Structure 1
């Protein structure tokens, strides 16, 4: 991630690289992505179940680092995916304090907005994902694999309705390797999304508009 190469990161993750691995300073790929200043790396890491709340050896979380680097967009994204704004680093500083000291207006604005809007409130499912809102994680995963999923769904769709059955949908999701959602939680998303739970408008479902 430090190189900022999206292609390299994707290839490593597809080969089962540990998305939450730590270096000698205990920094994770999320820390490295922020240092590279390539925002597009964050959704990719998120799709592979990255943790956004892990601190390095100086207790700096990704939010501390984003505050120092004035990466407001990244702050909003990460808080919605489990990052915490109210933890202190080894210097006893909150991320908002770092943003103020560095005169980073964008970071300061987004930290305050995240706390005001309660972006940190997650729909937790202890079975699907105890650390993150499982719906947002599922959404990020769908976006990362959207082209491949569209092709597979198209192969099994009803040619007249352009919809697929829940059975086909679940099977393809499972075959494509998304294991961080239980069958009950997936059924719940389908019921919330579809007026007729016996068929799925997969193109709209992939957009995430009706469950995010």
Structure 2
């Protein structure tokens, strides 16, 4: 059985951050749903602040260096992506946008994506629909129907906001799991493992 791979991208800038907390909970929900479907799953979480300088260099030179190259490789091979950003000025953070600007759009074509965001006020929840969803639709990603926004008040223990957040996280994780599990393997590159030259020549004498 093939192992399904999930890559979680967290654009939080502080340690700890509510953005990373939401990213971890969404990842756990998607993992649990995949395993309930009998799938093996492997995950990697990327903190964008750790590769921020490499992202800026790649935007200027168009050449990924340092720790960015393996991150981009993982994105290209992922069966599902969880992308979570803090809200700055009513939109995604500059680091979040810059990172996905250096991702090859072809690597996101058809890839299931679960979007999430965090902010101090519930009024910023529309960032999922007016900023994140259009951005990933432009790259032809398959965006899970449920996006998850978490305001500061949603993290309170035992309140209705906390229960509703948990329900949204579970539903979104389940939707991503379905999309990732149904994702067809990428077509093999015929030039990745070419026929050895000796084998090609062996038939010329017949």
- TM-score under structure 1 normalisation? 0.28
Larger RCO, structures 1/2 (Cα 8 Å, 6+ apart)? 2
Higher strand share: 2
